[in-house]
Structures are given as C-alpha cells and as structure tokens.
Structure 1
Amino acid sequence: MPTPPYTLAEPRVSAALTRMFEAAARDDETVSRLRSDRPRDDRGTRTAQELADMAQEIYMPVSADGGRLLYNLVRATRPATVVEFGTSYGISTLHLAAAVRDNGTGRVVTTEMSRTKAAAARETFAATGLDDVITVLEGDALRTLAELTQPVDFLFLDGWKDLCLPVLRLLESHIAPGTLVVADDVDLPDLGPYLDHVRDTANGYHSVTFPVEDGLEISCRL
C-alpha cells in the first residue's frame, strides 16, 4: 500500500517550519528591543500600516499544536478555498497549504499588510514548493478581501485582533452553513468583540474554545 501524502513531513516544509518556530521563539526579546528603541514621547495614534511596519520583525505565529490542528481541520473538511487573515512570515499558511496539497484539491488565499513579511513569506512558499496553492494578498485585508468573489470554505483569523470581527463581517455573505471559522489568541482582550459575536448563536455560529497555547476559537456557521 503506498504511503499517504503528508506534506508537513516533507524535508523542505519541515525545515522551513523549524527555522521559523526557532526565530519566533525570540519574539519576546524582539518586542522588548523595539519598545526600548521607541521614543518616550511617541504616544500618537498609528495607522494599521504603521503598526504592521513596526511589527515586521515579529513572527507572532500560531503555536505548533495550533498549526497541526489547522492541518487536521482542513484535511477533514476539504475546503476549496481557505482564507487566512494575517500571514505574518507564513507558519500557519504552510500548515493550511500542506493540508490543501494533501487533500489534492483547493487553495489558500492569505493576507498580509507588511511588505517585508509578505516578501519573506512568498520566498518561503516558493522554497517549500507550496507557492502554487497559495495566493498572497498584500495590503489592507479589509480592502483586498472585499474583492473576493468565491465562497469561503474555511476561514482562519490571526491578524490584528480588533480587526477579526470586521473581517468576519466582510466575508459573512461568502460563508455557507457548515463552514468552520477559526480565530487564534482567545486570551487577548482585543478579540473580545469577535468572541462575543461568534459565541452568541443568534449571530449564526456554534462556537467552542480549543485549549491550545493562547486558545483557538472554533466556530461553525449555522
């Protein structure tokens, strides 16, 4: 019997994930350095683009277990179109794309505002051989995803937490009953309005928190 495909174990993919998780382990150190370099009188309100540019050295990844859970969910649901809000350096995207590749069908549409991160992610996707199933939309997700016309068959939200609810509302007309919507970092306060929305069945979702790292909220569209 032939060995079933498991792209996460493919050497190029495995090496890329190991490299990025090792880099992400230094995120706290990077954040501390960036804060110390920031002028003390810098208290102004920044645009989303400015915030993205400031965070271009920070990986902010899904956890390793969270990535494996995403892989399993996509393998099980076999979505034609996976949409991801927040590529960063592409750790979660690789898990989603590996599942799509192993399903033998579908593609991943992912969004990133940081030009530096988008460029690095594209290089990684090409190096791992998964670039043919990934489309990177660079820029403000509320603009780039507004142009999406196809159904969203799986949605992963891991960008700025205060934008998760606006992104969901933007895409809701494309989300059919039975579709899974997953959000990362349930412990972060800025995700509160999103969680209130999906945890209220009156809004058309049945939601459960999966206790992995900072928590994944898995919601099924009713």
Structure 2
Amino acid sequence: YMLARSTGARIIVEFGTSSGISTLYLAAALRDNGGGRLITTEFEPSKVMRAKANLAEGGLIDLVEVREGDALETLSADLPERIDLLLLDGAKALYPEILSLVESRLRPGALVIADNADFSPEYLERVRSLAGGYMSTPFGDDVELSMRLG
C-alpha cells in the first residue's frame, strides 16, 4: 500500500492474485491516489473466485481486472502503455518471463516488488545486474525491491 501510495501509482500489474489480500491493499492505494487500474492474474479458478469475493466485499472490485489463467497468456496482451508498479507474487520460476512480458511498459521509476525472490536466482541476477536497467535491493527477509531506470 505505502509503496503504491508514495509513488502515486495509477496503473498496477500483479502476478499471483491468490485470495486477493495484496490486491486489496494495492486497490485501496489506487483509490486513495484518486483512481486507476489494477490488472491481476491467477491460475487457480478457486482462488479467482475468492479474490473477486474479497474485492467486492472491500468495495474495490471496480478498480481491479482479475484475469484467470496462465499469466504468460493473460499478461501477453491488453496491457496499458505505462505501468507504475509490478508485484510478482506467483510461481517464482516465472518471474524472469513475467518481467520480460511487461518490461517495455514499465515507466522510468516504476517499482517492481518480487516476493520470495530468493527462489528465483535468474530474476535476481537480472535486476541486480548493472546492465539490467534496474536499481535493486533486498527489502525485508525475502522481498526484492527494484526501480526501473531510464
């Protein structure tokens, strides 16, 4: 919530909705930032149903587009031109591929938050490399916080 609020994020993409807890916080940040759009993707239908119910109960469903299915397909089309924040919280092995899918749309200064990033060494190598186009640092016990450069 705080990262989305402090950066004034209006367009957020989330990989790994699960039951929608992080989604609720991100959508609340969008609401408090004056509106926007959150695109989130989840593979498991039962989790999609639970997330939608949680978002409806929280009064935030109007800010969120929940895409069901394989993220490599659901995030391969119909993305906004500019993304302010990307949350990676799904299958860790897919972090590099998901980043590749959305990278061209990440605005300079966009934040990428990767949960349990230690389980994706290829992802960490990419965002920590000087040539990778990111400034990146570990945050907390298991989160990698990266900023898209130029």
TM-score (norm 1): 0.65
Counterpart of 2:14 in structure 1: which amino acid?
E
Secondary structure (helix, strand or coil) at the match of 2:117 reads coil
**2:139 aligned residue:** 210
- Cα distance in 2 between the residues matched to 1:187 and 1:145: 23
Tell me, yes or no, if the aligned pair for 1:207 and 1:217 is still in contact at 8 Å. Answer: yes
Tell me, yes or no, if the aligned pair for 1:78 and 1:105 is still in contact at 8 Å. Answer: no
Q: Which runs of 4+ in 1 moved over 3 A?
A: none
Query: What are structure 1's unaligned runs of at least 5 residues?
Result: 1-70
- Cα distance in 1 between the residues matched to 2:79 and 2:60: 23
| 2:100 paired residue among 137, 144, 169 | 169
- Cα distance in 1 between the residues matched to 2:70 and 2:139: 28
- Cα distance in 1 between the residues matched to 2:79 and 2:69: 18
What RMSD over aligned residues (CA atoms) do the two structures have, in Å? Answer: 1.0
| 1:182 paired residue among 92, 104, 113 | 113
Spell out the pairing of 1:40-189 with structure 2 (5 A cutoff).
Answer: 71-150=1-80, 151-188=82-119
Query: What are structure 2's unaligned runs of at least 5 residues?
Result: none
- Cα distance in 2 between the residues matched to 1:138 and 1:208: 31
**1:200 aligned residue:** 129
- Cα distance in 2 between the residues matched to 1:98 and 1:158: 18
Percentage of identical aligned residues? 50
**1:219 aligned residue:** 146
Structure in which a larger fraction of residues adopt strand: 2
Structure in which a larger fraction of residues adopt helix: 1
Counterpart of 1:179 in structure 2: which amino acid?
A
- Cα distance in 2 between the residues matched to 1:136 and 1:201: 34
Rg comparison, structure with higher value? 1
Counterpart of 2:128 in structure 1: which amino acid?
R
* Number of matched pairs: 148
Higher RCO (CA-CA < 8 Å; seq separation 6+): 2
- Cα distance in 1 between the residues matched to 2:145 and 2:92: 15
